[in-house]
Structure 1
Amino acid sequence: MMRRALATIALATLTVAPGPSFALPSHAEVKAAYVSSEATLLARDGRPLQSLRVDPTVRRFAWTPLHEISPALLRAVVLSEDKRFFEHGGVDWQAAGSAAWSNLGGERVRGASTLSMQLAGLIDEDARRRGRRSLFEKVTQASVALRLDGQWSKRQILETYLNLAAFRGELQGVGAMSRTLFGKWPDGLDEREAALAAALLRAPNAPASKVAQRACAILKEMQRPGECAGLDGYAASTLAGALRQGAETPALAPHLARRLLNRPGQTVRSTLDAELQRFAGEALHRHLSALAQQNAEDGAVVAIDNASGELLAWIGSSGTLSEAAEVDGVTALRQAGSTLKPFLYALAFERRNLTPASLIEDAPLTLDTGNGLYAPQNYEPQYRGWISARSALGGSLNVPAVKTLVRIGPEPFRQRLRLAGLDSLNENGDWYGYSLALGSADVSLLMLANAYRTLANGGRWSPLRASQNPADAAPCRDSGCTGVFAGKGRKAFSDQAAFIVADILADRNARAATFGLESWLATPYWAAVKTGTSKDMRDNWCIGYSRRYTVAVWVGNASGQAMHDVSGVSGAAPVWREVMDWLHRGDAASGRPSVGSPPPLPPPGIVRTALSFEPSQEPPRQEWFVAGTETKRVRGAAARALARISYPAEGTVIALDPDIPPMRQRLPLRLSSPAQKGWQWQLDERRLGGAGGVVLWLPQPGRHRLALLDVGGRELDAISFEVRALRGNRQRR
């Protein structure tokens, strides 16, 4: 006993000896300096949306207050690490003397390091980096522990220790340990789990069998020996990660989180609505599950507040349904399909090239582009003849759209699309050609959504916002985000053109021939909406806006594979409708009010006139016009004035294939409108027969001139073309 007392006195003397200078921080300072390895994205109301690990060197979650830690764990830790924690003043002199005497006697026993002393080492970053401590460092640590107990409360010491201590591998702190190993919050740990956790503090990377052995000893001290049964297997499965959980927050916005979060401990309050984000993701998942047999597995959803430009929903993929869930469908560049048509007609109305009453012929069309012939076709094989611009846009007809672009020119249209925020159109108009009318250019869902929001706002473009803090960086700036989050507001279309296009896109009658009067697009409130499908059904879109919101949906495959018989109205439109309905119907239980959407008021410079057609291609109606372009009656031109040779086109070069039988290379001669009685074809001054039926001409090498003659032999139209063939491959007449 005398020797033990002497050892205790010696240790006490060393403890109070002067050591390296160490400024002891306060509990509040340590807590404030604590940085989680995670960054957190919050919803607009402060609720967590997504947690993202940013620091790859350590895994620790947000600081856990002592009252949120299980009493069982607190008891297990004190019993295991420092039985007299609540009795001593930072150094357990009794334990220190006993350990010193045993060590002097040659016995290898565990030291007398208290929780306060261990915390002193955790706070001292330099000491932690040096690893094993010398006797002098132990003295310094004890000195700091005494100061800790003098300035901090026991509760503060225990709370800080459990948040800074390493438990297993990269896991630091009680929050990361509890969520990752046991799949629950720290306040839910039972005695068995608490014993395992406490056992890890002494040897964080020990084998599972050693941890179980130590945990069983702790359980016996806790008077729970019965919990030792089966502890070996439970420890093995737990430490192997059988219950491993991810971040402590819901995983509702992974794609936006990866774009906004980049610093450990960072918290960003986004503009997203938590409930809408959840609902939109579930709606997308549900509808894609129904399309699984049609090879449609992925999708994306964006919702925007029209006035503020705040993003309310950002769903980048279908999650578990997708084979490439990491790909962000919101910013991926895809072919736009028919979603560009509203902007084309808006430009035509603004430039007074067309009015909604203007007739455009929906008939087979062949254009010589310089690189070959371009022959657009409608989504459905039939053609409707003469049709108004309103019906052509409402029904999303392809040939009238291409003819409209022929009037305007690809380059002016491309320039206007860029003004509307489609900055991905980097090539000149000739590069895209007339197929630009049908959406051959690559755009992102985010760009398209903001472009439609531009129409909703009377043709005025402005940037979007994803964070409530203006100081936060834009989530992305390149590829599908180019220009979306930066730039000054600008006028992309006139108020009048934007109003007329919105009126057409909200007109059930205008789209009835294609979509029917009742479809996913027919909302009980005012909404303007457009669908689109890209080549080979690789992408389909549905984008539309009400008075307050714009919602955009893409459905397809991240791999680019084609879907099977999935169009915009069957793939993306149901999701669009569900999200739009959610935004407008409100929810009394959650205090979310319903939102009305009456038709917009016409801007100055718009007039409405009673309109009729002669002959009556379409029923009489009230029509909107840009002031100065209005008309009360549209008369169809005579067939003679409309007749044109549609195929071959002017300047066509036809190459004969020597491997194909000549009779199978006959060329059909086509008109842009039905032939009148007595009209005939004439080729190189030689009559070929009537133009009213199908004429298949067996081509002959050389230059030719094809003319269309009326019943009196007068020339109505003529084109020149050339047929080329290998020598000796001349066809017989």
Structure 2
Amino acid sequence: MRLRRRGWACWGQVLLAPALACVMQLAQALPSFEATRSGHKVSDIALLDREGVPIQTLRLDKQQRVLPWVSLAEVSPALLRAMLYSEDRRFYEHSGVDWSAVASSAWANLWNSRTRGASTLSMQLVGLLEQDLARPREGRSPAQKVSQLWLAGRLEAQWSKAQILEAYLNRVPLRGDLIGVPAAALALFDKSPAGLDAREAALLAALLRAPNAKPALVAQRACVLLQVQGLGKDCAGLEPQAQAALQRRGGMPPGEQLAPHYARLVLRREGPNAQRSSLSAALQRQALALLRQQLGELQGHQVEDGAVIVLDNASGAVLAWVGSSGSGFSDAPEVDAVLARRQPGSTLKPFVYELALERRLITAASLLDDSPAQIQTGNGLYLPQNYDKRFRGWVSARTALGNSLNVPAVRVGAMLGADPLAERLNALGLKLAEPGGYYGAALALGSADVSLLALANAYRTLANGGVYSAVALPGAEPARRRVAEAGASFIVTQMLADNNARALTFGLDSALATSGFAAVKTGTSKDMRDNWCVGFSDRFTVGVWVGNASGEAMHQVSGVSGAAPVWAGLMRWLHRDRPSRPPLPPAGVLALKTQFEAAREADRMEWFLAGSELARVQATAEVQSLAAQGIKSPRDGSVYALDPDIPPRAQRLRFEGEAGVWQLDGRRLGQGAALSWAPMPGRHELRLLSDSGKLIQSVRFEVRGASLRR
């Protein structure tokens, strides 16, 4: 007997020595409740808008799902009862260890019978707080069990019962990657812990013992929990409910999911500390709704994607960022079209005219020739055409920009040169991928890829009188610098805000017409792949893109029919309480009544930079002589280069002149003041004859490139 006692004592020393050493070490490191709560790391972060409204939740930890800490007051009483009935019925009676349960469990283990475990919530929480006591698959060692018992008592001495229960609910592992009842309640029932009823609470508590159990077993255990609470009648239909909940697995994050692309951008720049953003939840919601509504209107036109950006003119803050039309509309909802680089089309024209005004090459009243032209480029001759395939002769710069005429824009761009124009566009933040010479004359028509964000901010620079500053994103440089002359920026702004100036192409009641002041421009890229509308009021700049993330062409969608309705709707919403006011003219700008010779355009009050004003605008002698010729187009010696990427119907040549009989290479084409001809490669002679057969004029021209089908 003495030998046996000495043996037990020896074994006790062997077991207790490392256990006591472990206990002493862990007891010193046992965290406080406040430290545990403040150190709670979530897998998802919620980005808030400028008013503190949650607008987007992002997953940070892909290994486990942990939601923000909830207090006991945010947990339904039904869930608290179910948890205690399942895990620790004498929770409020013991001091960390339920010795009666320990004895019962030890006796059952001695006789190899099954019973409930003896681990209390406090003991389980110790295992969750201390990694060294985390339960391995093979079970805890004797030393770990002793340490767990000791620390459970220490925990009860330092923490209140409410704190222990609250921490347990937030830290306990549940099914799969779900940690804590907030994550499990959301993933399985799409509810917060406060909203769980008795049946849902029982199902959730049943997962504590066997997180990965099959639905039938979970339902069986949940029914037992309901019965011990006197709710046995609620067991009916538990298994189908368990099946649905356990198959559902996922659940959307709490709150609205309005700005996934912007939230990811902020996360990349600020890291997991990102919380408050500059977005407006109400405006973001409105922008997304208007975009989706417009895409619905465009069904059948081969368009599924879109993007919207709204900037505050003064601060550069992002007020709305819709990177995609989203799932259900787009096949590529993850693509952020606010940052994607695409051809902006005619939306670059205002910067062409602004630079030409600034350099005193033109005025808003200057007459520009809108007729067929051949522009020499490094890649050959470039033949620009207008969107509607019509030419309007001599028009003012105001009319040319307002109606988005291509030929005058190319002519003005040629005055500037491609490299100076590219330099200005880069100063505006567009960050062209190539030097100006790479794009040549086509740069004036938007052949360089830019992002919607950069383009909108360039328009914001016009709104601020030529002063540029970066968009106010996390980590962005807020420095302001002048990149354009204030007077020239003001005049271009007035041209873009003139609804009468764009009436020839867009009419007086288009989506671009606003009740208050707004300067706006549309654009469509080559083959209708991209569609834009960008403009600003006195307080906001709005940019809209519509197209396809895949790059496929749209069907009969222009800037005014595609992106403009979204832009107009946002401008109305932004100024629903206060109309936008026009800017005041800066120093060095004056208004003068201007008359146009031969009533080419109606007399009007026009804005000029001081020293460039014109009271009367008249055509030059060259213009008058050209107008008097029998054949106005084509001109003698013209060379036309066919573009294989442009549809043939858009490349037909138009012969214009006095009314008469037209002959091409000796063959009669027709009669009248104008004819349309599908060009054939080669050198050609065009003759215009009077009705009596007398030669009025003949010109020679050349067509280069592949032949077009007639």
TM-score range, shorter chain: 0.7 to 0.9
Distance 1:723 1:50, change over 3 A: closer
1:127 equivalent in structure 2: 133
- Alpha-carbon RMSD across the aligned residues, in angstroms, is 3.4
- Pick from 322, 343, 348: which aligns with 1:340? 348
- Pick from 265, 269, 276: which aligns with 1:259? 265
Cα deviation digits, residues 57-103 of structure 1 (max 9, x gap)? 10111111111111000000001100000111111111111112222
Measured in 1, the distance between the counterparts of 2:680 and 2:528 equals 35
1:498 aligned onto 2:504: no
- Pick from 520, 531, 549: which aligns with 1:529? 520
| Structure 2 gap segments, 5+ residues each | 1-11, 643-651, 666-670, 689-696
Measured in 1, the distance between the counterparts of 2:279 and 2:325 equals 18
2:3 equivalent in structure 1: none
Measured in 1, the distance between the counterparts of 2:580 and 2:425 equals 27
CA contact (8 A) 2:687 2:699 kept: yes
AA at the equivalent of 2:387: Y
1:520 equivalent in structure 2: 511
AA at the equivalent of 1:605: G
2:96 equivalent in structure 1: 90
2:118 equivalent in structure 1: 112
2:81 equivalent in structure 1: 75
Measured in 2, the distance between the counterparts of 1:632 and 1:195 equals 87
Task: Report which stretch shifted further, 209-218 or 115-124.
Answer: 209-218
- Pick from 507, 510, 519: which aligns with 2:501? 510
Q: 1:682: Cα distance to partner?
A: 14
Distance 1:246 1:694, change over 3 A: closer
- Give the secondary-structure state (helix, strand or coil) at the position aligned to 1:168: coil
Task: Report which stretch shifted further, 15-24 or 46-55.
Answer: 15-24
Q: 1:705: Cα distance to partner?
A: 11
Distance 1:460 1:633, change over 3 A: same
Measured in 2, the distance between the counterparts of 1:697 and 1:14 equals 100
CA contact (8 A) 2:680 2:703 kept: no
2:360 equivalent in structure 1: 352
Measured in 1, the distance between the counterparts of 2:600 and 2:581 equals 30
Measured in 1, the distance between the counterparts of 2:403 and 2:655 equals 25
Q: 1:270: Cα distance to partner?
A: 0.9
- Pick from 555, 558, 566: which aligns with 2:557? 566
- Give the secondary-structure state (helix, strand or coil) at the position aligned to 2:439: helix
Distance 1:633 1:297, change over 3 A: same
CA contact (8 A) 2:654 2:674 kept: no
1:378 equivalent in structure 2: 386
Alignment of 1:666-681 (within 5 A): 674=657
2:460 equivalent in structure 1: 453
Q: 1:283: Cα distance to partner?
A: 1.0
1:223 equivalent in structure 2: 230
CA contact (8 A) 1:40 1:265 kept: no
Distance 1:412 1:434, change over 3 A: same
Distance 1:370 1:621, change over 3 A: same
1:393 aligned onto 2:376: no
1:612 equivalent in structure 2: 595
CA contact (8 A) 1:410 1:434 kept: yes
Cα deviation digits, residues 139-190 of structure 1 (max 9, x gap)? 1111111111111111111110010001100001111000000011111101
- Pick from 333, 337, 346: which aligns with 1:329? 337
AA at the equivalent of 1:209: A
Measured in 2, the distance between the counterparts of 1:110 and 1:431 equals 78
AA at the equivalent of 1:510: A
Q: 1:538: Cα distance to partner?
A: 1.3
- Give the secondary-structure state (helix, strand or coil) at the position aligned to 1:157: helix
1:302 aligned onto 2:285: no
1:728 equivalent in structure 2: none
1:552 aligned onto 2:535: no
Distance 1:459 1:79, change over 3 A: same
Q: 1:641: Cα distance to partner?
A: 4.4
- Give the secondary-structure state (helix, strand or coil) at the position aligned to 2:612: coil
Alignment of 1:236-247 (within 5 A): 236-241=243-248, 244-247=250-253
Q: 1:138: Cα distance to partner?
A: 1.1
- Pick from 410, 414, 421: which aligns with 1:406? 414
2:143 equivalent in structure 1: 136
1:730 equivalent in structure 2: none
- Give the secondary-structure state (helix, strand or coil) at the position aligned to 1:405: helix
Distance 1:270 1:536, change over 3 A: same
TM-score (norm 1): 0.84
CA contact (8 A) 1:365 1:646 kept: no
Distance 1:238 1:700, change over 3 A: closer
Distance 1:627 1:105, change over 3 A: same
Alignment of 1:568-647 (within 5 A): 568-585=559-576, 594-638=577-621, 639=623, 641-642=625-626, 647=634
Measured in 2, the distance between the counterparts of 1:383 and 1:83 equals 88
2:105 equivalent in structure 1: 99
Task: Provide the aligned length of Structure 1 versus Structure 2.
Answer: 666
- Pick from 15, 30, 36: which aligns with 1:30? 36
AA at the equivalent of 1:562: A
Distance 1:701 1:561, change over 3 A: closer
1:183 aligned onto 2:190: yes
CA contact (8 A) 2:374 2:640 kept: no
Measured in 1, the distance between the counterparts of 2:641 and 2:523 equals 33
Measured in 2, the distance between the counterparts of 1:210 and 1:265 equals 39
AA at the equivalent of 1:152: W
Measured in 1, the distance between the counterparts of 2:411 and 2:660 equals 27
Measured in 2, the distance between the counterparts of 1:266 and 1:504 equals 45
AA at the equivalent of 2:602: P
Q: 1:265: Cα distance to partner?
A: 5.5
Q: 1:654: Cα distance to partner?
A: 8.7
Cα deviation digits, residues 497-554 of structure 1 (max 9, x gap)? 1000000111111111111112211111111011111122111111110111101111
Q: 1:623: Cα distance to partner?
A: 0.4
- Pick from 142, 149, 156: which aligns with 1:149? 156
Measured in 1, the distance between the counterparts of 2:126 and 2:705 equals 91
Cα deviation digits, residues 213-242 of structure 1 (max 9, x gap)? 111111111111112112122211211117
Cα deviation digits, residues 389-443 of structure 1 (max 9, x gap)? 00110111111111111211111111111111110x1212221121111111111
- Give the secondary-structure state (helix, strand or coil) at the position aligned to 2:57: strand
TM-score (norm 2): 0.87
1:66 equivalent in structure 2: 72
CA contact (8 A) 1:297 1:318 kept: yes
Distance 1:465 1:700, change over 3 A: closer
Give me the identity figure in percent. 51
CA contact (8 A) 1:31 1:63 kept: yes
